[in-house]
Amino acid sequence: MYLALIGLPILGSIISGFFGRKIGVSGSQIITCTCVITTTILAILAFIEVGLNKNPVKIHLFRWIDAEYLNVSWAFNFDSLTVSMLIPVLIISSLVHVYSIGYMSHDPHNQRFFSYLSLFTFMMIILVTGDNFLVMFVGWEGVGVCSYLLVSFWFTRIAANQSSLAAFFTNRVGDYVLTVGMFAILWSFGNVDYTTVFSLSPFYSESVIFFVGICLLIGAMAKSSQVGLHVWLPMAMEGFLGRALLKFHYMLEHLYTSWSSIYSRVKPTLLNFGKIQELRQSAGNLYILSGSSETTREKLNIDDKFKWWLIGFTEGDGAFIINKNGYLEFKVTQASADAQVLFYIKKQLGFGSVSVQSKENKTHHFRVRNKIGLEYIINIFNGNIITKAKITQFKSWL
């Protein structure tokens, strides 16, 4: 039972990570969640056996370091403190796994995410159950690596990369101090086994115990982002909090687009049963036709920074299209995960529409099709495109 408690999360991580394409998204979710939930049930049984009945269990797998002056084993200890810590760790991990099924349902890399999540759970178990400081340090470093992988999961985002690096390097401060403390333990006690250190500590100098205690405390402070070493934690929330806010933003945008579509249909009727206002363009200002099927605003002015950013962005992800009926279309395509960029373009220009391009490929596009908007697009791009392919495309379009 105790070996299964340790090994099930890493088994789920390996299956999801290496065989994710074969088992699919649902298979990956079911396997990793089942492994972690089963581990939680086993931890509750261990708590009953060890914590309530006071029967500590120690598992010795094999000898890791066998030297004349140092012996370290791969061993795990289940005492009252260990099983008490496993309960909250595994219950929270199980809840996170189950919640992530819906939260990450839109992401094309679910298998990789659940593999990281199960690996994180495994490293936490190693950290909590290790029978000596060296095994504990393996779990300690593993948790740090998994934190980096999870925070930078959306690695195409600059903010996510910055957040992950901040978390990684800040934790290295704590790791350095913890390593100094472990060397002090080895130098003082001649061993890193918990039982040996705890039994001998009452007979050692208070200054040695104080120094080791301070090193372990600072290491724990860095890992748990306490005051002074907490700077990485708000940044680490970027990916998850940003995704939640993005969903809320999508909802508001869709409501706004729906209302604008209804209003654009009703407004011509209100304006003397279909009377159309004329467009006047002068001094770089554009007046938009009322009743357009695309969201518009009456007067447009854009600054140079946005103009040159849009030109550069379109060079990579935009297209000047002539469809099969001969109509012109300006389109910028992005992955659905980054659709907020398209909403930003639409907001700055004040016209065009953002919609799902392909549910299968998870892409959105920003599109301009009405004549007035296309004329304004021409004014922005004419003479300012750099790449040969886009220049050829634009000339044909023009």
Q: pLDDT value at position 104?
A: 80
Residue 162: CB partners within 8 Å, gap ≥ 6? Answer: 235
Q: pLDDT value at position 316?
A: 82
Which phi and psi angles does 272 have, rounded to 5°? 55, 45
Alpha-carbon span 326 to 241, nearest angstrom: 44
Element (H, E) at 186: helix 158-189
Full-model pTM = 0.57
Per-residue pLDDT in tens (0 to 9) along the chain, 398 residues: 888 888 899 999 999 889 988 888 889 889 999 999 999 999 999 898 887 887 888 888 888 887 767 778 888 888 888 888 899 989 999 999 998 888 887 777 888 889 999 999 999 999 889 888 888 888 888 888 887 788 777 776 776 667 777 777 777 777 888 889 888 888 888 888 888 888 888 887 888 888 888 888 888 877 776 666 666 666 556 544 444 434 444 444 444 444 445 545 544 544 444 443 333 333 333 333 333 334 444 445 677 788 888 888 888 888 888 877 777 888 888 888 888 888 888 888 888 888 888 877 888 888 888 888 888 888 888 888 888 888 888 888 87
Instruction: Judge contact between 368 and 352, C-beta under 8 A.
Output: yes
Instruction: Judge contact between 171 and 142, C-beta under 8 A.
Output: no
Q: Can you tell me which residue has the tokens 């195409």?
A: 156
